[in-house]
Structures are given as C-alpha cells and as structure tokens.
Chain A
Amino acid sequence: MTLKKNLAAQLKRFFSFFPISAAVSLVLALIVSVTGSLIYINRKSDETDRIVNIGLTGFLDDTYMDLAINSLTTLDSTRNSVKLVKLGADEADRALRTGEVGAYVVFPENFIKEAIDGNFQKISIVTADGSKSFSSKILNELIRSVAEMVISFQKAVYGYQQAVYDYGYSTEEMYSLGSNMAFRIIDAVLERDGMFRIQAAEPYGEGSLAGDTASGVISGVTAVFIMLWGIVSCGAFISRRDGLSKVMASKGNGAARQTAAEYAAYLVFMLSQILILGLAFCAVFSLTPLREVTGPVPFSFIASLILPVIMISSLQFLIYEASGGILGGVLIHFILGCGMGYVCGCFYPAYFFPRQIQQIARWLPLWQARVHINEVLLSGPVSPLPCVIMLLFAAVFLLAAAAVRRGRIKAEGGLS
C-alpha cells in the first residue's frame, strides 16, 4: 500500500461524514448570524447613549494644564459625549482594566515648561486594545482642540503686541519677541500630528476583547468555533482500526506516513467544511446588520482562516490520537476548546484574568489564531509572528500525534 492510496482511502473515509457536517454547518451559520445580529444591534444602540470617559494622568499640577483641560472640556465638539477625568497613574490603569475609562492620556513630565521652550514631548494615549476607531476618535478630538488653541494663541499674540507697544518697548524689541513667539506657535502647529502616540496597555494588548470591538468578538468566537467544530468529525477519528494500523505498518506505511495521510485528508475535509461554512456565513451576513462589521472583506476573512485551521486541526488530530475512546476524546476536545477559549479572551475580556495567566495565554494556540483573524478583520498589516507560531504549533502537534501512533502500534507488538 502506498501513501497515495492511503491518502485516497482516508479522503473517502472523512468525506463519508460530509453530508451530515455540511448540513450542521448551514444550520449553525443561520443560528450564529441571527444571534450575532441581535447582539450587534443591541450593542450599537447602547453605544449611542454612552458617554466616553477619558482619563488624564501624568503632569497635571500646573495652572496652564488646568486651563488647557478646561479648554478641552469647553471646546468639546462631541456634544458632551466625552468626559475627562483626572487620575493618578495606578488609578488610570485600574480604571482602564475595569472599563471605567475607555482610554487614558498620559502627559509627560514638565510638558508645559518644555512646550514653552519649544520642545514638544509626545503625549501617550493608552487604550485597552489599540482599537483604531476609539483611538482615532480621541486623536481627532485632541487635534481639533489644538487647532482651536492655536487660533487662541494668535489672538493672544496680537494682544501681547498691543501690550508691549503700550508699555513703551522699542519696535525692534517688540518684533524680535513677537517673531520668536510666532515661530514657536508655527512649530507647534507643524508638529501637532507628531504630538501624540497611541499605545495598547500591556499585557492584555492587541488580543484582548477590551474595548468590545466587533472584530475582537468575531475573531474570538471564530477561533473557538473552529476548535470545537472538529467534534463533528470525532466519528471519523474514533472509527480507525488499530489492527489496520499494524498491518499497514508491516506493509511499509509506518506511523509517520499513516499520520501524514490521515492528517492531510482531515485537513482537506476541515478546509472544505470551513469554506462552505464561511460562504454560508458571508451569504447570511450580507442579509443582516452584521454586514456593517464584515464589510467588503468576506473572502479575505475566509482566507485568514487557513492558517488557524491548519494549526487547530492538527491539535484536534492529536487529541483523538491520544484519547482512548469517543467519550474521552470528545470530553477532552470540549474542555480544552472551551477552557483555552476562555483564558485566551475569546468569550470574555482576557484582562479580567491574573497577569500571569494573561502572559501564558499569549502563547496558546487560540490566542495566536484570534490575533491573526483579528488583524485580517481590521484590514491592518498581518504580523508574521502569529503565522510562524501557528505553523510551529501544527508541526509539534503532528509530530506528537505520530509519536502516539507509533507507541500504540508498538504496544500491540507491531512494527512502526
């Protein structure tokens, strides 16, 4: 028996489960889309009435800072939908974690003094997830405020010139001081885009559900869904015959080749399932309010699932290879899928877990899968690190599965 023949047989074996799982896929697509739409509609209506709290911390004990904060509040063009709250550094971090503030702004030490001297230090805006929409909202607000302040400065310069003239300074002195101030203002205006930097709070960073972004919810649920989806195929895994494995091994198809053929067949099966499921979701999404979330990128979203599917299907393969029976396999699969999804913030914001758990979770397969899917959903640059880690995970899981198969064949006295 050749590897090719074994692969063909395994493909037929897995695809004998195709009609059932395809039917379940379509039903699931409908259920998830309807549920997702309802959640999305409710969340959206909540957000329209919600005031965004922004924390302010760092160098705040200054009269000019007080004036600036008051100006920002007064100049708030968001019709009182943004509330500024002064906080200490620790308080700001805690408030961000508990959701009391959506972000906080950190003013560097001696910000005003340095600004007067013409040295514009960067203001940090810390958000829970680096959320683009949220950060840009704050950024737009601040830039708008700075522009307003510059206009006020110009008025102040005019007033200053009048005052200097009234107190009898010479024309040269007056122009010299006035030019100096004008240059600083021009610098401030030219530098205003570089005055801010956005950073995500560590360690929950880019993968957490903090901020409740729609893409975060979708990527998390999708990663767990792929993980749990393999349960539909448990019948195909468990029905394999150890006797046949031994015979195949004696005919030159050892544990490694058997694992390769079976995994390749399972992967093709899973990818075809996900493709059908993805198309079903896209079709249903286009008819529901979720189209506002998925936008025009449904196919890139399906493509983004390929790497997670490669990794997760290899983990599923290992689970059933190592488990003794159908009940044990399904139980391990379910507990591992739900547990890992929970810790990795797929169901619940990860920042509610202790810092150590968050740090461990960052190296778990579902975290990597979620980060990757989220990046694609946000249409941002796709980081290579999660992709590499996912491929490494897949290789490790497959090697482990081959080792388990080899051990089982050997335990029954067979060759491997």
Chain B
Amino acid sequence: MEIKVRNIEKSYRSGTGRRKKILQGLDLDAAGGECIGIAGKNGCGKSTLLSVLAGVQKADAGSFLMDGTELFSRPRDLSRNVGLVPQAPALMDELSALDNLLMWYPKRDIIKELDSGVLGMLGIGDFLRTRVRNLSGGMKKRLSIGCVMHTMPPVLLLDEPCAALDLECRENILGYVRDYVSKGGLAVLTSHDPMELEICTRHYIMKDGRLSPYSYDGDVTKLVSSL
C-alpha cells in the first residue's frame, strides 16, 4: 500500500477577516511499513494536515491517492482507510469505555478484539467498565486509538500521541504504533517529542505550509534550529 499526497492547500479566515494559508502545495509520499514523523513550530499546520488527510476538514485543493485511488472524492473509502487519533480524545466522558467502543464497533467484534485483537493489545480490557471521565490521560489515548481502529485502517494518523503522558504510558502507546507499523501499517505522527520521533523511519519538518525532509539523528538542538 502506498499513498501520494499532492499539492494540498488549506487556508483559514483569520481574526482580522483575511485568509491565512496554512498548507501551500504540500506533497507527501509514503508506503505501508513506514512511520512518518512531522515536526514543526506551534501553529505551523501539522494538526490541520492530519485533519485534512483524515477527511475531518476539507482541503481547498489537492489530491490524496491510495494505491492510485483518489480518496478525497470518496469520503466512505477515506473514512475506512484512514484513522485519526486527535490530540484531545474525541470521547463521551459520561459513558464507559465499553459504551464509547460500542459507538464504533459491533458488540461481537469488541469481544473478539479484546480477546486477541487491537483492543486487547491496547489493554482496554482493564478499564472497560470505567467511565471515561474517571480514566487517566494515557487510558483515554489508548481508548481513542481503540475507537479509531474499528475499521483496521491501513493509514493511522496520530496528532502528538504522547503529549502530557508519563513515561510508562508513552512506552505503551509507542509500542502499539511500532507493532502497527511492523504489520504493514503506515503511521504518520506529528510531534515535538524526541521519544516519539525516534520510532519514526522518516522525518519531515513543516514550514511555510510545506514539508521538507529532515534527517533526525536524536540531536534536539539541531532539530530546534531547523524549525
């Protein structure tokens, strides 16, 4: 499986009423088994790029091809093939983890996935009956990933997946991403975190609405000066 993102453009109307271009002719090529890390300053458009690729926001221009099939014009295919884990988990706080999963999975699939699938791997069985409002940040993130994986999408987009999580939770989440990639999935994650960037096979820096390849060698100082 391979993806080709071409000439993506996206602009917002700013507070002053003028349109501000966030993405300007952005291109990206990637294939299954890769983990793409995107770094960049706050507000440079990383989250917007992931939202556009997941179909949560509409691109002003550009195309998103998966194995030659244009996905922007096929919302159903886009929704099935691309999963987005947003920075703030999109969950219902008053409901239990199980009830949140039931919004996305058929009941029988949850039992199967908890037993020997992605939900089991994420350890969601440990807090299945707990209300989301009582879960820790790490648990919410794992649940959020679990909800996204209901279609087993070949492309997983993660927006700062380990932000504000402790080391154990980070290792837990990143361990899952490594496993996902090793099984042929394509993960694209945005991050400021060296620990997250280390698991990526390729790195990009987002600047002026475009992606530039970057060779990350663990030197954070060098990375910061490149942003």
Q: Answer yes or no: A16 CB below 8 A from chain B CBs.
A: yes
Asked if B48 and A1 sit within 8 Å, CB to CB, the answer is no
**Sampled A-B contacts (8; CB under 8 Å):** A6-B103, A9-B92, A12-B94, A236-B94, A239-B93, A250-B54, A413-B56, A414-B51
Asked if B94 and A414 sit within 8 Å, CB to CB, the answer is no
14 more contacts with CB within 8 A, not counting A246-B56, A247-B56, A251-B79, are: A9-B103, A16-B95, A243-B86, A243-B88, A246-B51, A246-B57, A246-B90, A247-B84, A247-B86, A247-B90, A413-B56, A413-B57, A413-B58, A414-B57
| Chain A 224-243 interface 0/1 with B at a Cβ cutoff of 8 Å (1 = within) | 00000000000010010101
| Chain B 101-129 interface 0/1 with A at a Cβ cutoff of 8 Å (1 = within) | 01110000000000000000000000000
CA of A242 to CA of B221 in the docked complex: distance in angstroms?
A: 36
With CB as the reference atom, state the residue of chain A lying closest to B78. A250
CA of A244 to CA of B91 in the docked complex: distance in angstroms?
A: 7
Asked if A13 and B94 sit within 8 Å, CB to CB, the answer is yes
Asked if B90 and A241 sit within 8 Å, CB to CB, the answer is yes
Interface residues of B (CB under 8 A from A): 12, 48, 51, 54-58, 75-76, 79, 84, 86, 88-95, 99-100, 102-104
Please name all residues of chain A whose beta carbon is closer than 8 Å to the beta carbon of B88 when the two chains form the complex.
241, 243
Please name all residues of chain A whose beta carbon is closer than 8 Å to the beta carbon of B55 when the two chains form the complex.
250, 415
With CB as the reference atom, state the residue of chain A lying closest to B82. A250
Nearest-neighbour CB distance to chain B for A17, whole angstroms, equals 8
Contact A415 B94, CB 8 Å, known A243-B88, A251-B79: no
Asked if A413 and B12 sit within 8 Å, CB to CB, the answer is yes
Please name all residues of chain B whose beta carbon is closer than 8 Å to the beta carbon of A247 when the two chains form the complex.
56, 84, 86, 90
Which residues of chain A from 1 to 41 have a CB within 8 Å of any chain B CB?
1, 5-6, 8-9, 12-13, 16-17
Nearest-neighbour CB distance to chain A for B14, whole angstroms, equals 13
Q: Answer yes or no: A252 CB below 8 A from chain B CBs.
A: yes
Please name all residues of chain A whose beta carbon is closer than 8 Å to the beta carbon of B92 when the two chains form the complex.
9, 13, 241, 244
CA of A239 to CA of B95 in the docked complex: distance in angstroms?
A: 11
Give the contacting residue for B104; candidates A1, A12, A246, A252; CB below 8 A.
Answer: A1
- Which residue of A239, A252, A413, A415 has the most chain B CB atoms within 10 A of its CB atom? A413
CA of A9 to CA of B90 in the docked complex: distance in angstroms?
A: 14
Nearest-neighbour CB distance to chain A for B55, whole angstroms, equals 5
Give the contacting residue for A250; candidates B56, B91, B94, B104; CB below 8 A.
Answer: B56
Please name all residues of chain B whose beta carbon is closer than 8 Å to the beta carbon of A413 when the two chains form the complex.
12, 48, 51, 56-58
CA of A250 to CA of B50 in the docked complex: distance in angstroms?
A: 13
With CB as the reference atom, state the residue of chain A lying closest to B57. A413
CA of A252 to CA of B56 in the docked complex: distance in angstroms?
A: 10
